[in-house]
C-alpha cells in the first residue's frame, strides 16, 4: 500500500500551534498581541483551523444560502431620468454594454407626465428587469398596467420606513394601506417586487455591521406585522420584498454580513411559520466611504466592495461610478468602469459559477456565526423595546448609530488608513465639490460620508 507523503509529519493541532506561538511571544499576552477586536465587538483570531468550525451551525448557515435563486447576479446600475428620448437612448446603451437590469431614478418627476411608450421603447420588461424609483408608485403601476400586456420583471424601489427614518416621509395608517395596495397590485406580476428594504439608511448614518443587520431585519419584521394585520399573508409579503444592502470596504465582514442576513431572515420566517424561503438581496457599493479627494481611489473601494457582495451571494449588484458623490451629470466613463467591474468578476473571475463561494472557509464561517449572534441579540433587544418604530421614536436607534459613527471617525483620525483621504494623498489632486448635504432634523438619520471630515 502506498504511503501518504504527509504521514511523515507529526500531527499538528491548534492547541500545539498556540503553545508554540505563546512561547515565541516571550511573555507577551497572546490575546492582547494577536487577537483583533472589530468595531462590532467581535474577537478575530490570528489563525483558524478545521477545529474552529466543528461546533458551528454550518448546516443552517449553508442551507440559508441555498435560497439564492441563481448562481450569477444581475448587473443592475442606476440611471437618472431626464426626458423620454434621451433617457431611452441612455438606457439602451447601458443594457447593451454590460448591464442586464436597470434602476430608473425618477426623483420627484410626476409619473403622470411621462410618455412610457417613448421611455421604454425597444426595452421588453419581460426579458429585462427594470426597477423604478419614484415618489408616485401607485401612479406608476397604473400606467404600467395600461402599457404592459405581459409579465414584467423588476420592481419598485420603495421603502416607506427607510424614508421615515431619514426624515423624508411620515408614517401613519394611510402608509400601510398604500403599501398593501402596492403589494396587491404587484401580485399579478410574479417577477415584480413592491418593497425594497434599504440598509443604506443606517449604513450612511454610520452604523456598524451588527447594527445594520439588526435594524434592517427589525424594519422587515415591522412590514410583516403591519401588513399582515391588514389581511395580507406572510407569504404574500415575503414574495414581494427585496433587501438592498450597502456594502463597505471591510472585505470579510461584508461577506459575512450578506450570509448572516440570509441566515437570520430564514430564522425570522421560521418564527412566523412561513414556508417561503425568498431572500432577494441587492447589494450597492457604499456612498458612505466615497471621497471627493483623489476620487479615482473610489474605484478600488468599489472593486473590493463588489467582490464582497458577489462572494457573499448577492442576487443583484449596483456599483456606483467613482465620481457619483460629486458629479451632478452622467459620466459615461465612470459608469462604464463601474459596470465592467461586475462583468470582470462574473466573466473573467468566474465568481458567478458557485452558489456559495465562501462555504467552508474557516474564518468566514466563524465570522458569519459571530456576526449573526450579535445581530440577533440586538434584534431581540429591539423587539423587547416594542419594535423598530418604538425603538426609533425613543432615540435608541439614533444613539447607537451615532456612537458607532464617532468610533469610525476616531479610528480614521488616529491611524486607520483611508487611501487618498487621510494618507497617500495626491498633491496634484483638486478636490471635487460634493453636493451640499440637506439639513436633517437631529431626530432622524443623516446621510453622511466619512471622508467629508478631511475634505
pLDDT in tens, 237-268: 999 999 999 999 999 999 999 999 999 999 99
More confident residue, 13 or 61: 61
Contact 179, 160 (CB under 8 A): yes
Instruction: Supply the pLDDT for residue 4.
Output: 73
Q: At what angle do helices 362-384 and 209-229 cross, to 10 degrees?
A: 50
pLDDT digits (tens, 9 = 90+) for 50-62: 999 999 999 999 9
pLDDT at 208 > cutoff 90: yes
- How far is residue 70 from each of residues 198, 239, 297, 344, 354, measured CA to CA in Å? 22, 16, 31, 18, 9
Q: At what angle do helices 251-271 and 209-229 cross, to 10 degrees?
A: 30
Average the pLDDT over 374-379 and give the result. Answer: 98
**What pLDDT does 10 receive?**
77
Buried b (16+ CB within 10 A) or exposed e, 262-283: bbbbbebbeebebebbbbbbbb
How far apart (Å, rounded) are the C-alpha atoms in residues 212 and 219?
10
Chain segment 412-437, per-residue pLDDT in tens: 999 899 999 999 988 777 666 665 65
Residue 2 — very low, low, confident or very high, per pLDDT cuts 50/70/90? Answer: low
What residues contact residue 220 under an 8 Å CB cut-off, 6+ apart?
A: 197, 241, 243, 265, 268
Q: pTM above 0.85?
A: yes
Contacts of 92 (CB under 8 A, 6+ apart): 122, 123
Q: What is the pLDDT of residue 81?
A: 97
Q: Which domains does the chain have, with CATH numbers?
A: 66-372 (3.20.20.240)
* 230-249 b/e (C-beta count within 10 Å ≥ 16 → b): eebebebbbbbbbbbbbbbb
Query: What does the pLDDT read at residue 438?
Result: 58
pLDDT digits (tens, 9 = 90+) for 265-274: 999 999 999 9
Tell which residue, 134, 143, 144, has the closest CA to residue 196. Answer: 134
Amino acid at each position: 500500500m502506498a504511503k501518504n507523503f504527509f504521514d511523515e509529519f507529526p500531527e499538528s493541532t491548534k492547541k500545539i500551534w498556540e503553545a508554540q506561538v505563546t512561547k515565541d511571544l516571550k511573555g507577551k499576552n497572546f490575546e492582547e498581541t494577536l487577537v483583533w477586536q472589530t468595531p462590532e465587538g467581535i474577537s478575530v483570531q490570528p489563525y483558524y483551523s478545521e477545529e474552529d468550525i466543528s461546533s458551528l451551525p454550518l448546516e443552517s448557515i449553508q442551507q440559508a444560502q441555498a435560497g439564492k435563486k441563481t448562481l450569477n447576479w444581475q448587473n443592475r446600475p442606476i440611471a437618472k431620468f431626464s426626458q423620454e428620448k434621451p433617457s431611452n437612448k441612455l438606457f439602451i446603451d447601458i443594457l447593451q454594454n454590460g448591464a442586464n437590469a436597470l434602476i430608473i431614478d425618477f426623483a420627484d418627476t410626476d409619473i403622470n407626465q411621462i410618455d412610457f411608450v417613448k421611455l421604454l421603447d425597444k426595452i421588453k420588461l419581460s426579458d429585462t428587469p427594470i426597477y423604478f424609483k419614484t415618489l408616485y408608485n401607485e401612479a406608476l403601476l397604473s400606467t404600467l398596467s395600461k402599457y404592459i400586456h405581459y409579465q414584467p420583471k423588476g420592481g419598485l424601489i420603495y421603502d416607506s420606513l427607510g424614508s421615515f427614518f431619514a426624515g423624508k416621509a411620515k408614517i401613519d395608517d394611510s402608509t400601510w394601506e398604500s403599501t398593501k395596495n402596492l403589494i396587491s397590485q404587484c401580485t399579478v406580476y410574479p417577477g415584480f417586487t413592491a418593497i425594497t428594504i434599504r440598509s443604506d439608511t443606517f449604513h450612511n448614518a454610520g452604523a456598524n455591521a451588527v447594527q445594520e443587520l439588526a435594524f434592517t431585519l427589525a424594519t422587515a419584521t415591522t412590514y410583516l406585522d403591519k401588513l399582515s394585520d391588514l389581511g395580507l399573508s406572510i407569504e404574500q409579503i415575503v414574495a414581494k420584498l427585496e433587501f438592498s444592502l450597502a456594502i463597505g470596504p471591510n472585505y470579510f465582514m461584508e461577506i459575512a454580513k450578506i450570509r448572516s442576513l440570509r441566515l437570520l431572515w430564514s430564522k425570522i420566517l421560521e418564527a412566523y411559520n412561513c414556508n417561503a424561503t425568498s431572500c432577494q438581496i441587492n447589494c450597492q457599493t457604499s456612498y458612505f466611504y466615497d471621497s471627493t479627494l483623489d476620487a479615482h481611489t473610489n474605484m478600488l473601494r468599489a472593486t473590493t466592495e463588489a467582490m464582497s457582495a458577489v462572494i457573499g451571494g448577492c442576487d443583484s449588484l449596483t456599483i456606483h461610478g467613482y465620481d457619483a458623490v460629486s458629479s451632478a451629470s452622467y459620466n459615461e466613463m465612470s459608469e462604464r468602469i463601474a459596470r465592467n467591474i461586475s462583468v470582470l468578476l462574473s466573466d473573467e473571475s468566474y465568481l458567478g459559477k458557485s452558489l456559495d463561494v465562501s462555504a467552508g472557509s474557516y474564518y468566514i464561517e466563524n465570522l458569519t456565526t459571530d456576526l449573526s449572534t450579535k445581530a440577533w441579540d440586538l434584534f431581540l433587544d429591539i423587539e423587547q423595546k416594542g419594535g423598530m418604530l418604538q425603538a426609533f421614536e425613543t432615540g435608541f436607534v439614533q444613539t447607537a448609530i451615532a456612537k458607532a459613527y464617532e468610533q469610525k471617525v476616531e479610528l480614521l483620525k488616529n491611524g486607520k488608513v483611508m487611501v487618498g483621504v487621510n494618507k497617500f494623498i495626491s498633491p496634484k489632486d483638486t478636490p471635487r465639490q460634493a453636493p451640499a448635504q440637506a439639513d436633517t432634523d437631529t431626530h432622524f438619520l443623516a446621510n453622511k460620508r466619512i471622508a467629508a471630515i478631511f475634505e
